Amino acid sequence: MRRAIFPGSFDPITLGHYDIIERGVTLFDEVIVAIGVNADKKYMFTLEERMNFIKESFKDEPKITVVSYKGLTVDFCLKNNVKFILRGLRNPADFEFEKAIAHTNRDLAPIETVFLLTAAKTSYIASSIVRDVIRNNGDYTKLVPKTVRVK
């Protein structure tokens, strides 16, 4: 069974993330959306909220699992028999950053990273931009799945 992890903080999940996950399930038997927990990072949404946004977005897709994890992504992969890391690329800067991580991961474990280019219509969306729109009372609903709602 071909399993891939799609790691991130998903604070919150965006339409760009959604697109990568949706396309990932056509390539893999299972896509594990894994929310990394970083104690040093301040999040806008709680871990529970972020998990629920994703679970609700894909509630009708049995090939998608949502989990959280701490530590190195490759350690999660080794412990869970995951051979692939799925990543989205929006621009050349993303590529350079992700390339360095992919090389490091491959040095640490026999894990392959698979890159998908984001769709043109979502390539400008980043969680940091969404959070800024939310903080400034803008219409964030155009940037995220319907399941993401601010209280």
Catalytic residues: 17, 41, 90, 127
User: For residue 114, what are its two tokens?
Assistant: 């698979």
Q: How many CB atoms lie within 10 A of CB 60?
A: 6
Burial of 120 (C-beta count, 10 Å sphere; 0-12/13-18/19+): exposed
The CA-to-CA distance between both ends of the chain, in Å, stands at 39
Distance CA 30, CA 23 (A): 12
Q: Which of 51, 119, 115 is nearest to 84 (CA)?
A: 115
